[in-house]
Amino acid sequence: MKTETKAVHAGDRKRNPETPHAFVPSSMPIYTATTYLYEDTAKLDRVLGREEPGFCYGRYDNPTRTGLEELLTELESGHSAQVCSSGMMAIHVALLAALTDRPKSVLAANALYGATTTLLTQVLEPMGVSVNFVDICDLAAVQHKIEESKPGCIVMETMSNPLLRVGDLDCIAELAEEAGAALLVDNTFATPLLVRPLEHGANFSVHSLTKFLAGHGDVLGGVVVTDEAHSNVVRTLSRTLGPVLGPFESYLTMRGIKTFALRVERQCQNACRIATWLQSHPRVARVHYLADPNHPDAAVIHRLLPEGLYGALVPFEIKDATKEDVFRFMDKLKVVVCGTSLGDVHSMLLYPAIASHRDIAPKQRQRMGISDGLVRLCAGIEAVEDIIADLDQALS
């Protein structure tokens, strides 16, 4: 079954086996109860002991949340999923699960979302976890760093934030497996429509549900989709730490996912048109886009991504722009929304230096290739002519 069909049907229309003749709702209802009761205490005992399927307590399970987790498991070709209160919580849970019975050492891509880098260096490292960074697009360097640092977990993004570098996912998965390390991939930018990391050998695929999957700017959430080997430890961590997503957010995310394939296809089309237009604009110094035949990772991109679907992100650099120049450009935008997210139905523009990578030191940002003139545009589903006209008037 294709991703587009799974997005519409998976996780819905549950029939209660104890009332087989009851009606079946066409979409997943919102279950707000924190506690679930049974006429037979022995059955409650079995449910609490996970010997029998069922719901007992909101920190453990919730029918609405479970429907969403089944949907996300199907979309990512995983064994199970755990939805969390945010994307960062999902990354944290995945890291804890990966390191539970492995060396407390992480090898991470040197180009990551700023908060992920902060989590590694300011939270895990002071707690005794060794953290090393590597150019994830240099396989020889990755192999050398694996041999040198002997990591318990390797962390990368399908497409790096914000410059859209693409590592050789399946080759890195092989290196991780040979070294006994878990591979954790943040798949937020790609979505399961473009890439499904577990199909390439990853152990964890993590998303910020806030972005493309929920897609309407009204949900804060995350998910860890995992393989069979890590399923139980993720579930145990969730039951213990309680990072769970609420039933209302679970419902909204599930509803949003039903149209995510249509939205992402349109966003990919718009992004391609915008990138082509920006490349010829006199005020634009450089455009970062995956369909560019001169992209440094072009061979990997064309092997991993479906033809014609290159994502909705179009980072670009305004020529010779200072921070004040970028602010003036952003303040002139009327259709494109300036905010600290992406993946919504409306086009959104973010300035990494004050948002996604604000906590990264300026010199480190420069080393990462994040210049003062770099902005990150995420195409929405509007008429592309209106997006381009808005960018044009703001750049002029």
Q: Where are the domains of the chain?
A: 3-30+62-257, 260-395
pLDDT score recorded for residue 370 = 81
Q: What is the DSSP letter of 119?
A: I
CA separation for the pair 386, 268 (Å, rounded): 16
β-pairing verdict for 337-338 and 130-134: unpaired
Report the residue count for the chain.
396
Q: What is the pLDDT of residue 14?
A: 72
Distance CA(326)–CA(393), nearest Å, equals: 14
- Whether omega before 162 lies within 30 degrees of 0, making that bond cis, reads yes
Return averaged pLDDT per consecutive 10 residues of the chain, 396 residues in all.
Answer: 94 70 83 93 92 92 96 98 98 98 97 93 97 97 98 98 96 98 98 98 98 97 98 96 96 97 98 98 97 96 96 97 95 96 96 79 76 94 98 97
Q: Which two tokens stand for residue 162?
A: 């914000």
- Strand extents, DSSP E, the chain: 80-84, 105-109, 130-134, 153-157, 182-186, 204-208, 222-226, 284-287, 313-318, 337-338, 348-350, 374-378
Are 58 and 52 in contact, with CB atoms under 8 Å apart? no
pLDDT at res. 21: 64
- Decide: 336 and 345 in contact? Cβ < 8 Å: no
Question: Do residues 310 and 271 touch, judged by C-beta distance below 8 A?
Answer: yes
- What span, in angstroms and rounded, lies between the C-alpha atoms of 56 and 39? 13
User: What is the C-alpha separation between 89 and 331, in angstroms, rounded?
Assistant: 32
- What is the CB neighbour count within 10 angstroms for residue 125? 13
- Distance in angstroms (rounded) separating the CA atoms of residues 396 and 389: 11
Burial 227-261 (b: 16+ CB within 10 A, else e): beebbebbbebbeeeebbbbbebbbbbbbbbeebb
Q: Are strands 153-157 and 182-186 parallel, antiparallel or unpaired?
A: parallel
Domain 260-395 part of CATH 3.90.1150.10: yes
- Please tell me the number of Cα atoms within 13 Å of 324 on its side-chain side: 0
Residue 18 · residue 4 · CB < 8 Å: no
Residues marked active site are found at 59, 113, 186, 211
| Whether the Cβ atoms of residue 199 and residue 206 lie closer than 8 Å to each other | no
Domain 3-30+62-257 has CATH 3.40.640.10: yes
Q: Using the 8-state DSSP alphabet, how is residue 284 labeled?
A: E
Torsion over CA: 145, 111, 137, 200 (sign): positive
| Per-residue confidence (pLDDT) for residue 37, from 0 to 100 | 93
Res 17: pLDDT: 61
DSSP, residue by residue, 168-228: -HHHHHHHHHHHT-EEEEE-TTTHHHH--GGGGT-SEEEEETTTTTT-SS----EEEEE-H
